[in-house]
Amino acid sequence: MFLPKVAALALAALIALPAQAEPLARHLFGAHAVPSRQQSAAIGTYARGCAAGLVALPETGPTWQAMRLSRNRNWGHPMMIDFLRDLSAQATRVGWKGLYIGDISQPRGGPMTGGHASHQIGLDADIWMLPPTRLNLSRAEREKISSISVRTEDQTRINGNWTESHKALLRLAALDPRVDRIFVAAAVKIDMCNSTPRNDRAWLQKIRPIQGHNTHFHVRLKCPAGDGFCETQRPTVAELSNGGDGCDATLNWWVTTYLEELRNPPRREKPKGPPPKTAKTYTLADLPGQCRNVLASR
C-alpha cells in the first residue's frame, strides 16, 4: 500500500502546481549544437530573431582565430563569414597579423543563453581590440587569453593601447559596403572624430558610440539581398547622422551626461505594468513565426 499512496500524493502535488510556463527562447536556441538544414537566411531583427542555414567560421584560418570556442558562437550568415575572412586579410595591410574574432551567433541564431541582446540573426560579430601576436593559439589558450581595453577607466579618453592601426582597421571595416554600423566605446569615436581629416570623414557615420565596447568592436552587417524576413535597423545610420559623420555635439553626451547618470543614476518613477520583454525573457511566441521552422529543422 505504500507505493500507491506515494504515487497518489505525487499526482496530487503535480495537479496543484501551476501550468508550466512556456520555455524561454534562449534555452531552446541555446540547446542546438548545429545549424538548421535550410537555405541561409537572417530572420527578424538583430535583437529579436533567428537564422537559418548558418555556417561556421573555421576555428583557425590564415589570418584569423575564433576565440572562446566552448561557447559555440562562431556561426554566421555566409555574408558575415565572407566579411570576416576579407577583413582579417585586410588587417595585414595595417600591421596586424590578422584578427581574433569573438562571438558571432549560435548555430541557429536566436536569443543567446547569456551575454548579448543582439547577435541573433548571424549578422553581428565582435572583433577583439587585441592585435594577434600569433595565430596558432590552442583551444585552451583561447579560453584564457583576454582582449585589451582601449579607453581609460573613467571612460572619457582613449588610453595607450589605442593605436593608429586600430583606427585604420576600423576605417577599412566601415568602408565595406556590407557594413551597416560598427559599435565602439565613446572615447574611441571622439578620438576618431578629432583626428580624421575633413576630406576623409564620410565613413565615420558608421562608427557608433555605445557602452561596453572598449575591448572589442562590434560589426553589424546590412540585411543580405533576398532575405525577405530580415528587418533593417531603424533609424539607419544615415538617419542618425543626418547624412553627416556623427561627430556633432551630441557625441559628447556620451562622456558627460551619460557617464554622469551611470555614476549617479537619477531617481525615476518605477514604470507601471509588467517589465518589457528582452532577449532574456523572450519565448518562441515573441519571435518571428519562421523561427519555429528553424528550431524544428533537422
pLDDT (tens digit, 9 = 90+) per residue, 114-139? 878 999 999 999 999 999 999 999 99
Global pTM? 0.88
Q: Does residue 9 sit within a domain? A: no
If pLDDT is split at 50, 70 and 90, which confidence band does 20 have? low
State how far the Cα of 2 lies from the Cα of 5, in Å rounded to an integer.
5
Q: Does residue 43 sit within a domain? A: yes
State how far the Cα of 157 lies from the Cα of 141, in Å rounded to an integer.
30
Q: Does residue 270 sit within a domain? A: no
Q: Does residue 163 sit within a domain? A: yes
- How far apart are the two ends of the chain, measured CA to CA in Å? 46
Three-state secondary structure readout of 261-280: HHHCCCCCCCCCCCCCCCCC
pLDDT for residue 11? 28
The domain that contains 176 carries what CATH number?
3.30.1380.10
Q: Does residue 5 sit within a domain? A: no
Q: Which of 24-28, 76-80, 188-192, 235-239 has the lowest mean pLDDT?
A: 235-239
- Which residues have a Cβ under 8 Å from the Cβ of 291 and sit 6 or more positions away? 25, 43, 44, 49, 50, 110, 284
With 0-12 CB in 10 A as exposed, 13-18 as middle and 19+ as buried, what is 47? Answer: middle
Grid coordinates belonging to 207: 562608427
If pLDDT is split at 50, 70 and 90, which confidence band does 244 have? confident
Which H/E stretch holds residue 84? helix 78-91
- pLDDT by residue (tens digit) across 142-179? 999 999 999 999 888 999 999 999 999 999 999 999 99
Alpha carbon separation from 163 to 8, 205, 238, 284, 290 (Å, rounded): 70, 20, 27, 43, 44
Range of the domain at 228: 23-265+281-296
State how far the Cα of 178 lies from the Cα of 80, in Å rounded to an integer.
9
Which H/E stretch holds residue 43? strand 41-45
Q: Does residue 176 sit within a domain? A: yes
From the DSSP assignment, how many helices (H) and strands (E) are in the chain?
9, 11
CB 99 within 8 A of CB 63: yes
Q: Does residue 204 sit within a domain? A: yes
φ, ψ of residue 49 to 5 degrees: the values are -175, -155
State how far the Cα of 213 lies from the Cα of 99, in Å rounded to an integer.
16
State how far the Cα of 213 lies from the Cα of 189, in Å rounded to an integer.
11
Comparison of pLDDT for 298 and 80, the residue scoring more: 80
Q: Does residue 251 sit within a domain? A: yes
pLDDT for residue 243? 60
DSSP letter at 95? T
The number of folded domains in the chain is 1
Average pLDDT, the chain: 89
State how far the Cα of 179 lies from the Cα of 148, in Å rounded to an integer.
24
CB 297 within 8 A of CB 32: no
- pLDDT by residue (tens digit) across 169-216? 999 999 999 999 999 999 999 999 999 998 899 899 999 999 889 999
